[in-house]
Amino acid sequence: MKKMEREEFGAHSRRTFLKSLGTVAATAATAQVQSVAAEFEKANAEKTVGPGAVPVTLTVNGEKLSLMLEPRVTLLDALRNYSSLTGAKEGCDRAACGACTVLMDDLPIYSCQKLAIEAQGREITTIEGLAKNGKLSPVQQAFWDRDALQCGYCTPGFIMSVTALLKFNPRPTADEIKHACAGNLCRCGTHPHIIQAALQASGAKVTSKTEVINA
Amino acid sequence: MPSWPEQTKYISKSTLRIDAPPKVTGKARYSSDIQADGRLYGMILRSKWPAATISAINLEKALQVPGIKAAITAKDLPQTVRFYGEEIAAVCGTTKQACLDALRAIEVTAQPRPFVVLEDDAKKDDAPQVWDGKSNVSSSPRGSGEQGTVDQAFPECAAVIEGFYTTPVQLHNPMETHGNTVSWTDEGLTAWASTQAISASRDGFAGPLKLDHSQVRVITDFMGGGFGSKLNGSVEGVLAARLSREAKAPVRLMLTRFDEALAVGNRPSSFQKIKIGALADGTLHAFELDNYGTPGISGGDVDLPQPYIYKVPNSRVKQTHVAVNAGASRAFRAPPHPPASYAMESAMDDLAAKLGMDPLEFRLKNDSNEVRQREYKIGAEKIGWKEKYQKPGSSPSVVKTGLGCAGAAWGGGGASRNTQGEAQINPDGSIEFRLGVQDIGTGTKTVIAVVAAEMLGLKPEQITVKVGDTNFPPGPGSGGSTTCASISPTVFDICANALQQLQTQSGIADARGDNWFAACKKLGVTPLLVHGRWQQGDPGRPLSSSPAYGVQFAEVAVDTETGLVTVKKIVAVHDCGLIIDTLTLEGQINGGIIMGMGYALYEERVMDDLSGVVLNPNFETYKLSGIGDVPEIEITLLNMPERGVIGIGEPATIATAGAIANAVANAIGARVFSLPITPAKVLAALGKVPPFVKS
Amino acid sequence: MKAFEYTTALSTDSACELVAGHGAYLAGGNDLLGLLKEYLVPGPDILVNIKSLPGLNKIERGAKSWTIGALVTVGEIERDAEIGKVFPGLRDAAMEIASPQIRNVATVGGNLAQHSRCWYFRHRDTVCLKKNGDLCYARNSENRYHSLFTGNDCISPVVSSLATTFAALDATAVVLRDGKETRMSMAELYQKAWKEVTAHNSLNPGDLILKVEIPTARGRSAYLQVSDKHAFDWALVSCAAAAEAAGGKLKSPRVALGSISPVPHQVEAANQFLDGKTLDDATASKAADMILAGATPLEDNGYKVPLAHALIRRTLLKLKGET
């Protein structure tokens, strides 16, 4: 069997992030991701599965989900309809709106355009996985504080994109926030408050220019 | 007589949205999230013909797909289909994959009929008829009219302009599609509906399914936007209910994004030929409009209230509706003001240019509304009109900057007078409000908490709010910008009644604030259930009223070599009577502006006249304003407590397209008459596009 | 989507075998899953995951030439600091592709191989020429996004902005075809789409893009595009230019346009005209005239001519370092 190279994308980004924590930690964590994904591939390589349902194990918010899924089931579908993680939303099912955004090894992806079977061996983070022990993450808190939501349907997707951004770029400019959130749509018009929330979560001071004149 | 307090702790201040935590944590369950045990998924088969007679539908093979539990036809046969996307059949099954396979296994026998999808084609005498035996062209008497002596008035004008201003069909496209999770058993029907109107939704089940209202319960705890498209009962809801009945299980049936472009409403198009003239001193003198537009196969909101907010002594308005084989229109945020404002305000600027007048001065001269007069002056200062305004096209350099403005009026925003509600006050001092209204993202729940906190001397965090259940006291659908004006006086009344009863029962003279818990403790073991309803209050200082106004200014940069329009800044000055919560109010105004910007620059439903299909039933080519497009938005709010609460959702979106269109025209010195203002159209207006020669 | 089998290939040989006749390669999946969800392509019976193929996800940085593996993601290109220095045009193209979520999974190979974005091709209920139907709807109806140049009855343009940029950089795609490595310039990679109505590019069924080799000789490169929106919107027109800088003059310049032809549009005469010239407005404008000569606008896409003209001038001036 040829020597295989493990999928680089997720590990590459994680490596970049972890660089800031120090070389030793980075190497250790990378090696861990490397070995999990490699194990998976070894076990599954060149075995043909489907079209009927097959066992698929997903690691979501640190926990294992053991599901029986057809290969054509998307990660979004798996989360929403084969488990009760309905935080990621279906807005279009065509990789165009971002309501389904989750993190795969710290990188935001559209879960509607990723087969669940291909998310095995990766660390999936959904909106449900951000708050720790009932405490909102800084991004979640900032969204609340700056009212960066209205109907809330696009909100989990945006929060995932902003969360991912701040991991790689802890002090982004407004333009960088816009660039990072370009793949998320909102119909209610929360964008200005989202930019404020991302800035606030990054520790920047944010002021509103809204003026109330008492007539 | 009841009126809002003069000094307030929470009202007119900034209160955080109370339902943010479930939304930011993913705990909020929308219609498609409801965890109904044993649920099935439902899907709809839609017509691929824009016009056809369906003579047979064979569901046998669909029923044989593993996992499928029921399959039904939408209507009796033969079925006359009149638009691409009309509902034909529906299935439900244990997985979405099974449903997809089942839809493809349904065999439909159809005889295609002639169809027409473009307005100009449908107007022709020999156009295929959308409705047998009826002309595609009709008009309503109220849409047309005349006053003064228009034909004599035009020659009297010092300046006259003519323009053909057009707007496209716009799609609501809320982020959450339409749909329900429905459970219909012998015990009754429960629908977790994505709706703006639980009562109308209930009607929409009870009627077609021949159920008593008391057997139908609609629940909407969270919903992902509607903008007017979710104010009625739904075809998809009834199909889900029928499937549920047959399959003996709850059915979750949500529309796809594709479906949203076809069958759940839209804003009609407009083709407005405007002629408008003014006297030498700039007074508007004559106005003529010939407008047509399509509401699809049927629908309203084609007739436009022209000449919008301006008084013209001599005017003639003629409006016609043109039916085409496309989905019917539905109310869409401030119908039908946005196209009216866009065209009228564009014509105003074009006339001002002809007169050589500053367009802001021209408006101040012709718009006598006191509120808008104030708002224009405030807005002009904030955008820097005096310093920055230049004559059309005189901005130097390749990227030209321009300014524009427009005004609005929304006569809705009044209240639904039948609104009721209740509060349960427990001996431990906890209080829960229950109102049969919806929070469509506007912050309804928060408004209730703010008003209650204010009137009871508590904190908003201490108020539990439940909405969106037909078991609760009835309230209005969330449309017309009426919700806030309906619930605020209702909650005021509930609180007044609550205090009165608490005070009587407890013997404590003033049960508010610090005395609240002591007063509640005296209830013993029995909670107090208090009812209340909307009331007007003191007519001189009412609890709610209407209308609201508002003006917006736009600053744009137009790249005259690429045609790209960038909105740099919007200044919005709005009034909505008594402000309840500035934070959620800001959200509504931002939202209205961003939606108006989409209308001005990006959005357009495109029909293909060869096949009759909607060409852009997706977010890839039906383009919504993105975060990269959103400008700096500066909002000024005029708080007018003496007018009581008025709605804002719709006024916020009316003036935006006109302001942006005017800013573009000001920048480049040429008018793009048709929305959306794309780079292609800008380049054409600048004369840079070679004329097309058919080979 | 229809049901399919799924497997992961560990060698290019087995990938080709597994796909042969009835399967599809699955890399990032953006284009493929989009096609499958709308049932736009026949089958496939099996999806073959190629993301574990050894060596294809590497960026090899040589003195004379870089090799970017077909499985390198667009996001990795965007984030690679060195690419930004050596091939700035490539970085600029990458960062405007789609959205971050798409860039994080989209691969170089997938971006090059992607199918037409014509809205008639992509619509489930219009059977156009490219889908073996009888009619090019776009020619007779809505063609605002379509080609200014075409060699056949289909007017769907190539939209891969990586292809446009690789064309300017004179990059070569290395394609595995019938077990042998075949080298194709960008022109060759899309030539079949110029000639044949049903083709999206020159790849045959079973062909697998392995890598793209980019000579470093052209140290200056630039990319610009304009869309209706400011982000996450297909380019109306895109332009890439690359050249060796030599004392203020352009040496071996190449200019390519995307979204206006089934192939990345280059005019050799224009490249030659620019060679050795000091770049200024007049030169750039003349080059633009030459590049756009012979354009045949349709009813709705005439605006692409002045738009492309402006982009060519600006991209060239960006090469010079003026913008």
CB C255 within 8 A of CB C315: yes
> By three-state DSSP, how is residue B32 classified?
helix
Is beta strand B431-435 parallel, antiparallel or unpaired with respect to B541-542? unpaired
Structure confidence by residue, pLDDT tens digits, B169-182: 999 999 999 999 99
CB contact under 8 A, C228 and B84: no
Compute the average pLDDT of residues B591-605.
98
Judged by CB atoms within 8 Å, which residues 6-45 of A form the interface with B?
none
Which residues of chain A does C73 touch, with a Cβ-Cβ cutoff of 8 Å? 9
- Measure the CA–CA gap between A150 and A140, rounded to whole angstroms: 14
pLDDT at A135: 97
pLDDT at B693: 81
Task: Give residue limits of the domains in chain B.
Answer: 20-28+415-542, 34-114+174-260, 270-412+546-685
pLDDT at A16 over 50: no
- Measure the CA–CA gap between B199 and B221, rounded to whole angstroms: 14
Q: Which of C232, C236, C303, C304 to mutate to test the interface with B (most CBs of B within 10 A)?
A: C303
CB contact under 8 A, C120 and B608: yes
Chain C: closest CA distance from residue B332 (Å): 23
CB B593 within 8 A of CB B633: yes
- Give φ, ψ of A149 to 5 degrees: -155, 155
Residue whose C-alpha is closest to residue C275's, from C200, C218, C197: C218
pLDDT at B649 over 60: yes
CB B290 within 8 A of CB B318: yes
Run of H or E including C34 = helix C30-37
Provide the percentage of residues in chain C whose pLDDT is more than 90: 95
Q: What is the 3-state secondary structure (H, E, C) of B269-329?
A: CEEEEEEEEECCCCCEEEEEEEEEECCCCCCCCCCCCCCCCCCCCEEEEEEEEECCCCCCC
Q: CB burial class (10 A; 0-12, 13-18, 19+) of residue B429?
A: middle
Provide the percentage of residues in chain B whose pLDDT is more than 90: 97
Joined together, the tokens standing for residue B18 give 């109370």
Structure confidence by residue, pLDDT tens digits, B453-497: 999 999 999 999 999 999 999 999 999 999 999 999 999 999 999
Chain B: closest CA distance from residue A212 (Å): 5
Place B690 in a pLDDT band, splitting at 50, 70 and 90: confident
pLDDT at A13 over 70: no
- Measure the CA–CA gap between C89 and C239, rounded to whole angstroms: 10
- Give φ, ψ of C216 to 5 degrees: -90, 0
pLDDT at C245: 78
Sign of CA dihedral A26, A31, A33, A34: positive
Q: What is the CA radius of gyration of chain A?
A: 19
- Measure the CA–CA gap between C200 and C159, rounded to whole angstroms: 10
- CATH class for domain B34-114+174-260? alpha beta
What is the CATH number assigned to the segment(s) C1-53? Answer: 3.30.43.10
Of C248 and B398, the one with more pLDDT: B398
pLDDT at A11 over 90: no
pLDDT at C21 over 60: yes
Place A12 in a pLDDT band, splitting at 50, 70 and 90: very low
Domain A138-201 has CATH 1.10.150.120: yes
pLDDT at B311 over 90: yes
CB B107 within 8 A of CB B57: yes
Compute the average pLDDT of residues C38-51.
96
Give the chain A residue whose CA is nearest to the CA of C51: A7
- Measure the CA–CA gap between C43 and B163, rounded to whole angstroms: 52
CATH superfamily of C55-323: CO dehydrogenase flavoprotein, C-terminal domain (3.30.390.50)
pLDDT at A35: 55
pLDDT at A39 over 70: no
Domain B20-28+415-542 has CATH 3.30.365.10: yes
Geometric angle at alpha carbon A102, from A101 and A103, rounded to 5°: 130
pTM confidence score: 0.96
Structure confidence by residue, pLDDT tens digits, C96-111: 999 999 999 999 999 9
Which residues of chain A does B35 touch, with a Cβ-Cβ cutoff of 8 Å? 84, 86
pLDDT at A19 over 50: no
Task: Give residue limits of the domains in chain C.
Answer: 1-53, 55-323
**Minimum mean pLDDT range among A160-164, B651-655, C31-35, C247-251:** C247-251
Residues, chain B? 695
Run of H or E including C186 = helix C186-195
Residue whose C-alpha is closest to residue B662's, from B356, B361, B408, B405: B405
Chain A: closest CA distance from residue B145 (Å): 36
Place A44 in a pLDDT band, splitting at 50, 70 and 90: low
Q: What is the CA radius of gyration of chain C?
A: 19
Judged by CB atoms within 8 Å, which residues 19-78 of C form the interface with A?
26, 29-30, 33-34, 36-37, 46-47, 49, 51-52, 54-55, 57-58, 71, 73, 75-76
pLDDT at B691: 84
pLDDT at C322 over 90: no
Compute the average pLDDT of residues C221-249.
94
CB C252 within 8 A of CB C270: no
- Give φ, ψ of B90 to 5 degrees: -150, 150
- Measure the CA–CA gap between B517 and B422, rounded to whole angstroms: 19
Which residues of chain C does A6 touch, with a Cβ-Cβ cutoff of 8 Å? 52
Compute the average pLDDT of residues B484-513.
96
- Measure the CA–CA gap between A5 and C12, rounded to whole angstroms: 13
> By three-state DSSP, how is residue A125 classified?
strand
Structure confidence by residue, pLDDT tens digits, C70-90: 999 999 999 999 999 999 999
Which residues of chain C does B611 touch, with a Cβ-Cβ cutoff of 8 Å? 125-126, 137
Task: Give residue limits of the domains in chain A.
Answer: 1-46, 48-129, 138-201
- Measure the CA–CA gap between B423 and C223, rounded to whole angstroms: 62
pLDDT at C196 over 50: yes
Sheet with C5-8, strands from edge to edge, namely C5-8, C46-49, C23-26
**Residue B442 contacts A where some CB pair is shorter than 8 Å:** yes
Residue type, position C262, single letter? P
The overall average pLDDT reported for chain B is: 97
- Measure the CA–CA gap between B68 and B96, rounded to whole angstroms: 10
pLDDT at C323: 40
CB contact under 8 A, A183 and C100: yes
Which residues of chain A does B19 touch, with a Cβ-Cβ cutoff of 8 Å? 152
Structure confidence by residue, pLDDT tens digits, C270-299: 999 999 999 999 999 999 999 999 999 999
CB contact under 8 A, B95 and A128: no
Report the phi/psi class of residue C125: left, alpha or beta, with left for phi > 0 and alpha for psi in -120 to 50: alpha
Give the chain C residue whose CA is nearest to the CA of B684: C303
**Residue A1 contacts C where some CB pair is shorter than 8 Å:** yes
- Give φ, ψ of C276 to 5 degrees: 85, 0
pLDDT at A36: 64
Strands (E) located in A7-147: 54-60, 63-69, 101-104, 107-110, 123-125
Strands (E) located in B312-412: 314-322, 399-407
pLDDT at A29 over 60: no
Structure confidence by residue, pLDDT tens digits, B154-169: 999 999 999 999 999 9
Run of H or E including B634 = strand B632-639
Place B323 in a pLDDT band, splitting at 50, 70 and 90: very high
- Measure the CA–CA gap between B686 and B669, rounded to whole angstroms: 9
Closest partner CB to A41 (pick from C52, C55, C73): C52
CB B325 within 8 A of CB B47: no
**Minimum mean pLDDT range among A9-23, B265-279, B396-410:** A9-23
CB B250 within 8 A of CB B264: no
- CATH class for domain A48-129? alpha beta
- Measure the CA–CA gap between C207 and C180, rounded to whole angstroms: 10
Which residues of chain C does B627 touch, with a Cβ-Cβ cutoff of 8 Å? 231
Residue type, position B411, single letter? G
Closest partner CB to A161 (pick from C55, C79, C100): C100
Compute the average pLDDT of residues A52-78.
98
Compute the average pLDDT of residues B281-295.
98
Compute the average pLDDT of residues B266-292.
98
Compute the average pLDDT of residues B7-21.
98
The overall average pLDDT reported for chain A is: 86
Of B327 and B695, the one with more pLDDT: B327
pLDDT at B656 over 70: yes
Q: How many CB pairs under 8 A join A and B?
A: 206
Joined together, the tokens standing for residue C312 give 């060519």
Geometric angle at alpha carbon C29, from A172 and A15, rounded to 5°: 40
Provide the percentage of residues in chain A whose pLDDT is more than 90: 78
The overall average pLDDT reported for chain C is: 96
The fold for domain B270-412+546-685 equals Aldehyde Oxidoreductase; domain 4 (3.30.365)
Structure confidence by residue, pLDDT tens digits, B53-96: 999 999 999 999 999 999 999 999 999 999 999 999 999 999 99
Joined together, the tokens standing for residue A130 give 């951000």
**Residue B94 contacts A where some CB pair is shorter than 8 Å:** no
Place A37 in a pLDDT band, splitting at 50, 70 and 90: low
Run of H or E including B237 = helix B235-247
Judged by CB atoms within 8 Å, which residues 133-152 of C form the interface with B?
135, 137, 140-142, 144
pLDDT at A23 over 70: no
pLDDT at A45: 66
